[in-house]
Amino acid sequence: MKKNILVVDDERGALILIGIMLERGGFDVIKAQDAENALALLDQMTPDLIVLDVMMPHINGIELCKMIRQRPDTKHVPILILSARGDADSVMAGMEAGANDYLPKPILHHDLVAKVRAILSQSAEAK
């Protein structure tokens, strides 16, 4: 069975590119262009993993990560943050918000797929 991955990124190009990378890696991808849209999707389904961008309008990825962690239905869903901000403070903020991992953009296809598979297998072992 394919794993469902929710990708949240306000940049259409990035959303499409990340979606293609993950689909080629064998995953089903659900896309949201902002935090509000992502939260509405989470009311309807629980993905196996969530990929978040940090810099988004209204609610940024760090805030969204905290919100996802506060929900009973999604508090254990693995979260991978992808961001153009790769500085130590941004990485720390992401990890403190509850992300399982943090990767800088631009991301290479095999790095993204390998990281997603690694996080999913860690999460399966933890259950």
Q: Which H or E run contains 37?
A: helix 35-44
According to the model, what pLDDT value does residue 124 have? 83
- Residue from 79, 70, 64 nearest 5 by CA: 79
Rg of the chain, C-alpha, whole Å:
13
Task: For residues 14 and 30, give the distance between their C-alpha atoms in angstroms, rounded to a whole number.
Answer: 14
Contact 7, 29 (CB under 8 A): yes
What's the pTM?
0.95
pLDDT tier at 115 (50, 70, 90 boundaries)?
A: very high
Reduced to 3 states (helix: H, G, I; strand: E, B; else coil), residue 88 is helix
Would you say residue 127 has pLDDT above 70?
A: no
Pick the CATH number of 4-126 from 3.30.70.60, 2.40.10.10, 3.40.50.300, 3.40.50.2300: 3.40.50.2300
